[in-house]
């Protein structure tokens, strides 16, 4: 029987920050569903709440109100340890700043998430090399980040995000540090991985490039999520 459980689901999700100047409603009553094999994009200018929303969806922050479910698991009832397990086993994160460790080679960076799960060293090295091949970097596996271009570093970050076979990819401005041509190539790689691996992807960006590959496009305005016509 086909599993129809949404990979990512949010209901009335809200986050309010209290400051000396009053409350800031960064995310307001967001409803969202992303299924396996679906590529969703949220557009919004800087300060619109995109990063806050991603942090809530990925269990990196707790909401003021509402719920987030990852493949049916309600994050609100989990301890910090339980959230860490969900982040490690169910979610692959991709960040604008790549987040690679400079002293490690590309293949060693991809291996890192698998070290946390105590996977056999030989098996994790083999899987890391396979993933680098998937993103077109088989011949750069032993290079350190400083020896790679920005686009190549982001490909390594994508391979690392897939290391533990997550159901969900969350990406925060993945093309933000790349030129337009390289950014378009990174978006193409992500879209192909969503299709070939059946993962769900939710990307926050102000770059219009991902829209052409997306199954669903949203706008975030003053913390409110709206489907784009």
- pLDDT tens, residue by residue, 156-184: 999 999 998 899 999 998 888 888 888 88
Summary mean pLDDT of the chain: 90
Closest CA relative to residue 183, chosen from 159, 215, 149, 216: 149
Render the burial of 50-67: b for 16+ CB within 10 Å, e for the rest.
Answer: bbbbbbbbbbebebbebe
Domain range annotation of the chain? 8-18+25-227
pLDDT recorded at residue 23: 84
pLDDT in tens, 103-115: 999 999 999 988 8
Q: How confident is the model at residue 144 (pLDDT cuts 50, 70, 90)?
A: very high
pTM of the model: 0.90
CB 107 within 8 A of CB 132: yes
Span 3-21, pLDDT tens digits: 788 999 999 999 999 887 7
Q: What is the CATH number of domain 8-18+25-227?
A: 3.40.50.300
CA–CA distances in Å: residue 128 to residues 22, 174, 197: 48, 20, 15
Task: Give 176-215 pLDDT, tens digit per residue.
Answer: 888 888 888 888 889 988 988 889 999 999 888 888 889 9
Q: Say which DSSP state 176 is in.
A: T
């Amino acid at each position: 029987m086909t599993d129809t459980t949404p990979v990512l689901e949010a209901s009335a999700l809200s986050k309010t920050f209290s400051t000396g100047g009053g409350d800031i409603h960064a995310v307001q009553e967001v409803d969202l569903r992303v299924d396996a094999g679906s590529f969703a994009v949220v557009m919004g200018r800087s300060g619109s709440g995109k990063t806050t929303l991603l942090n809530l969806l990925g269990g990196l922050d707790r909401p003021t109100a509402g719920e987030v479910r990852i493949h049916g698991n309600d994050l609100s009832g989990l301890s910090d340890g339980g959230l860490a397990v969900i982040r490690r086993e169910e979610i692959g994160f991709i960040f604008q700043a790549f987040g690679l460790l400079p002293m490690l080679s590309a293949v060693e960076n991809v291996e890192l998430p698998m070290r946390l799960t105590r996977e056999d060293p030989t098996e994790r090295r083999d899987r890391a090399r396979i993933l680098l091949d998937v993103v077109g970097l088989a011949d750069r596996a032993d290079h350190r980040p400083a020896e790679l271009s920005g686009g190549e570093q982001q490909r390594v970050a994508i391979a690392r995000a897939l290391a533990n076979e997550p159901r969900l990819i969350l990406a925060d401005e993945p093309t933000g540090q790349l030129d337009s041509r390289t950014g378009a190539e990174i978006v193409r790689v992500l879209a192909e991985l969503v299709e070939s691996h059946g993962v769900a992807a939710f990307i926050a960006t102000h770059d219009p490039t991902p829209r052409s590959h997306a199954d669903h496009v949203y706008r975030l305005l003053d913390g409110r999520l709206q489907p784009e016509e």
